[in-house]
Amino acid sequence: MKRKIIAVALFVVMGLTGWYFLYHDDAAAQAGAQAQVRVERMDIEDVVTALGKLEPANYVDVGAQISGQLLKLHVELGSVVNRGDLLAEIDPRTHETRIEADRANLAQLEAAQAERRANLLQAERNWKRDAELLRQKATSQLNAQSSETEYKVAQAQVQAIEAQIQQARASLATDELNLSYCRIYAPISGTVVSLPVKEGQTINSSQTAPTLMRVADLEVMTVWASVSEADINKLDPGMDVYFTTIGDTATRYYAKLDKVHPSYVEENDVILYDVVFNVENPNHVFLPAMNTQVFFVLAQAEDTLGLPLDALPDNLRSAGEAVLGVLNPDGREEQRAVTFGVRTRTAVQVLDGLEEGEIVLAAFESSGAGQAANGAGRAVNSARRMMGGSSLGRI
């Protein structure tokens, strides 16, 4: 009875084993078909990607150095200006009034200076006369000393009025300079890209200099890119870089990397470093604050033979060479030593060992059959253990 039970169990196992072979042979065949990869020509680029933003390479925030009402704007947003052009005017009347007061005060002090110089001259004459009389013993010592004191006081009064005049002249010069600030001129040639003020607005410069507008030279733009700390050490100044804009993802604009800055920001626990490069903008295609997709080229190969990286075994995807299975013209597999070059996350350059159009068999093409054989072996061994080590011939 026991042997019958074992025989039935073995029969079931053999049936399952046959199904396993049939199913996995079919799966293995499908896997082998999917693993056939053709050697093709392609462009391969190993790049570091980052997001960036375009900003003018040279710009000036034009501010007001004095307070007052913005009387006149001579430009509008987008105006093209040359260095020295009049941009805006602040109401000058307050400063003109101060200048008039300064000039009147200065005139008064100069008149007082003339009077005190005359007094000094008279005091000097009195002191010299009394000194001569004292030598002739024609006057008292007291009179001579009084004359000398009056002379020295007159000298001090002249010096004091001269100091006041210098101060008045400095105040006048300051107010005249402030009056000149009422007319604001372009510090550079460029385009008005920001204009946050309007005519009639009151400008207050008592705390900080208010910005009236930004004038930017749009002929050269700077791309500020943010590169993660995982990739920053792969970049070097002078390397090739290109970028696309959000509005034109098909056009590439090429440049050279200028600088890798130590400045950084932290976003979602990721450290991003600032990387910059300049690009010419003669037609003003680029505008301030445009977003870009930046590609830093680590290595590249154009119109070269290549394979998908999945065609290589996992342990060889970073190797310089490997032995691959290749179908010959008769449809038979042969082993071929292949040398690799530039590689990306998806493709690898073929330098030697393969020709265009040849078929490469991925390393895992026979894995399905192997798994089937292993499964069948395990099933038979299990049946034998159930029979206590008996062979098929003993049933």
Instruction: Report how far residue 260's alpha carbon sits from residue 233's, in angstroms, rounded to the nearest whole number.
Output: 10
Instruction: Report how far residue 266's alpha carbon sits from residue 244's, in angstroms, rounded to the nearest whole number.
Output: 25
pLDDT at 363: 57
Q: Does 354 have pLDDT greater than 50? A: yes
Tokens 């007319």 sit at which residue? 183
Tokens 């100044």 sit at which residue? 237
Among candidate residues 318, 324, 326, the one with its CA nearest the CA of residue 337: 324
Tokens 């375009």 sit at which residue? 54
Q: Does 106 have pLDDT greater than 90? A: yes
Q: What is the overall mean pLDDT for the chain?
A: 84
pLDDT at 314: 79
pLDDT band at 369 (very low <50, low <70, confident <90, very high): very low
* Average pLDDT of span 360-368: 57
* Average pLDDT of span 109-127: 94
Q: Are 31 and 283 in contact (CB under 8 A)?
A: no
pLDDT at 210: 83
Structure tokens at 144: 């001579």
pLDDT at 16: 52
The model's pLDDT over 212-247, given as tens digits with 9 standing for 90+, comes to: 999 999 999 999 999 999 999 999 999 999 999 999
Contacts 24+ apart (CB under 8 A), 140-149: 147/123
Instruction: Report how far residue 57's alpha carbon sits from residue 83's, in angstroms, rounded to the nearest whole number.
Output: 17
pLDDT band at 139 (very low <50, low <70, confident <90, very high): confident
pLDDT band at 311 (very low <50, low <70, confident <90, very high): confident
Half-sphere exposure of 76 (CA within 13 A, CB side): 0
Lowest pLDDT segment from 11-20, 72-81, 176-185, 276-285: 11-20
Instruction: Report how far residue 196's alpha carbon sits from residue 253's, in angstroms, rounded to the nearest whole number.
Output: 32
Between 136 and 33, whose confidence is greater?
Answer: 136
Residue type present at position 170: A
pLDDT at 100: 96
Residue type present at position 262: P
